[in-house]
Each structure stands twice: as structure tokens, then as C-alpha cells.
Amino acid sequence: MSDLDKINSIFNAKIDSVKTKIDLQNIKTEFFGKNGQITQQFKKLGSLDQNKRKEFASNLNKIKDDLTTQIEQKNLEIENFEINEKLKNEKVDITLPARTYQKGKIHPVSQVIDEITSIFSELGFTVAEGPDVETEYNNFTALNTPEDHPARDMHDTFYLEKNKKLLLRTHTSPVQIRAMLSGKPPFKIIVPGRTYRCDSDQTHAPMFHQLEGLHIDKKITMGHLKGCLDYFIKEFFEVKNIKMRFRPSHFPFTEPSAEVDIGYKIENEKIVIGEGDKWLEILGCGMVHPNVLINAKVNPKKYQGFAFGMGIDRLAMLKYGINDLRAFFETDFRWLNHFGFDPLDVPTNYRGLSK
Ligand code: PHE
């Protein structure tokens, strides 16, 4: 038997027992690898004399082609086998009853935070956050709030310590200080979050939500503040013509300060936002007081800007016709099922106004 016939019969004996891709890889190496049996034969070619070489080469090539084809076929066989095994094991019984699942609802407060964030992000604001437990300094002192201001009283504020150094923040304004201290101007942020005051009735809860806005840059004026809030209110309430007025007010951390009211009327016992001769207060705002900028290490001779703060829960109540604030936080599933939002629903057409 010639060398080539021997190789051929060894190969044939082995290929039959191949079951896996690893076996196949081993055979490939044994015959076609660097020191493989076929490779060795090719190396011999050079030492044969001319007339023998031609015949040997043609036999060798034939065997090489034959073995290669067999390896390829085996590879296909193995792949088919693996697919069939997989199909067998992953069979789906379509006669089984469907699994039930419970779909949750999005709380109106979360929904409204998403809506407001989306509107302000169109104006270039980014979202910042701060902790619920604040220092007395960030919550009051840095915000230019005097020692004898009523908000500092135990009746209004939850203090965590007797020495009054830590408290539950009474507004989102301390995040103004945090944001400015941790970055460089310009600043253009909104801050949604929980806030706390000693208060509880139909329209006040001890914990509620606010959204702060802060825009500090070199040439920011009250005109920008008005334009920004006008855009926001129309987009949020989805009303093209909405009456809005700035009423002079006072906050220690803004000068001048204003409260913003929007017009409304009652029609068929329902509130209609936009027109009418009644006014509803929805937020506080103003130009950031120079003392606040100094406390936050911003040069008031170079930079100025506006801030505003609104009650998120109140906006949610107004927009979605909910009249008792306390129900927001009672985790009653019947209430949530009624007032909540489906996760995949696009809320009405609320982004359609500016388009
Ligand atoms: N922090 C104020 C409040 O809680 C609202 C406000 C924020 C007013 C920013 C002016 C500027 O009532």
C-alpha cells in the first residue's frame, strides 16, 4: 500500500467516528496542520525526481480534495444535527394558556416631572439634583434669608437636630447654591425634587414636590425670564393663548421678585386654564440676588440671571383635574389606576403645540 493509500484509509477510519466540531478540528489539524500527514506529503514533493513528481503530485491533490470535501460535509452534518437538537429542546407549547402580567401606572407627579423636563430641555436646561437633607446654610443662609425670617421657625421647618444645622429642605433653591459651587458659570439648570414643610390640609402636604430653575450668564435679563416662563406655561397647559401676569413679590434670594399668575375661569364646574377674569398663582421667581451669587462664588459684576420655583403637585392637580393633594401620597392603587398614566402611552398631544 502506498503512503497515500495509507493516509486515506486512516482518514476514512477516523472521520466516521467524528461527532462534534472539536473532533473535526482535531482531524483537520492531524491531516492539514503544520505537521499534518497531508502537509508532510507536500513537503516530500521537492525531493522526488521529475517524472515521479508529476504523478505523485496529481494523486496527492486528488486525495487532498477528497479529504477536504469530506471534512466540509461532516461540518454540515454536525451543524444540522446541532440545529435539530436545539429545535427539539426549545419546542414551544402553543396550547399553554398565556401568562398574565400586571401593568403598572405612572404616578401623575412622575408624569408631570417628565413633561416639564422635556419642555425645559428644549430651551437648553439640564437637570440637576440635590439631597433632601440639607444644611441650614444652603437652605437659608446662603440664600440670603435673614435669621429672623419666619421660614426658619420650627413651626415651618423640620429640623433634624436640636442645634438646627441639618433640616429637610423647605424648597429646591439650595440646589442653586450646590450647582454654582460645584461648577463654573454659565448655569442653566432645572431641579425637580421633594421638599418638606410642617403643613397639612387639602392643598398642603408635609412632603411635596418643587421644580427649581436657574439661568446665570453674562447678559440675562428679566425679559429672558418672562419669555422662558411664557413658553413653558403655554407648552405645559397646551393652551395657545394663556393670560399670564407677573405680580411683585418678595423672596430674600431674588431682587426684584415676582409671583406668576395665570388666568382661568370656571365652566360647568370645571376649571378652564388660559382665559377668564380669575387668577391662579403658580410659581415664584425673580433675578438672583447678588448676595446669593457672592455666597456661591460667582462674581455678580460679571454674571447675573433668574431663578424660579414651582410646585409640581399643584401643576399636576391643575392640569389633570385632581382636587385633593393628600391622595397623591396615600399609595392607594385604585387612585393610581384612575389618575395614573400608562407607561407606553404618549400623553395626549402635549408636545404638539410648538410644532
Ligand atoms: N423657593 C421659593 C419657594 O419655595 C420659590 C422661588 C424659587 C422663588 C426661586 C424665587 C426664585 O417659595
Q: What is the pLDDT of residue 151?
A: 80
> Which structural domain range is residue 173 located in?
108-339
85: cell is: 437538537
Determine whether the shortest distance from the Cβ of 171 to ligand 1 is under 6 A: yes
Cα separation, 311 vs 219, in Å, equals 28
Number of domains in the chain: 2
Answer whether 308 contacts ligand 1 (Cβ < 6 A).
Answer: yes
Specify the 3-state DSSP secondary structure of 347.
Answer: coil
What is the whole-number distance in angstroms between the Cα of residue 53 and the centre of ligand 1? 97
Report field, pTM of the whole predicted structure over 0.85: no
Protein residue closest via CA to atom 6 of ligand 1: 309
Question: Is there a single domain that holds both residue 181 and residue 64?
Answer: no
Q: Are residues 263 and 329 in the same domain?
A: yes
272 C-alpha to center of ligand 1: Å?
Answer: 26
Residues 6+ apart with CB under 8 A from 52: none
For 22, the enclosing helix (H) or strand (E) is helix 21-32
Q: Is residue 35 located within the same domain as residue 112? A: no
Residue 119 covered by a domain: yes
Low-confidence ranges of the chain (pLDDT < 70): 345-355
What are the C-alpha distances in Å from 170 to residues 75, 140, 190, 241, 261? 71, 9, 17, 33, 22
Residue nearest to atom 12 of ligand 1 (CA): 284
Tell me what pLDDT residue 347 has. Answer: 52
Q: Whose CA is nearest to atom 10 of ligand 1?
A: 285
Q: Tens digits of per-residue pLDDT, 228-266?
A: 999 999 999 999 889 999 999 999 999 999 999 999 988
Q: Is the CB of 251 under 6 A from ligand 1?
A: yes
Which residue's CA is the closest to the ligand 1 atom numbered 4? Answer: 171
Please state, in angstroms and rounded to a whole number, the distance separating the CA atoms of residues 247 and 25. 83
In a domain, 96, yes or no: no
Number of H helices, E strands in the chain: 11, 10
The CATH number that applies at residue 257 is 3.30.930.10
The whole-number pLDDT of residue 345 equals 55
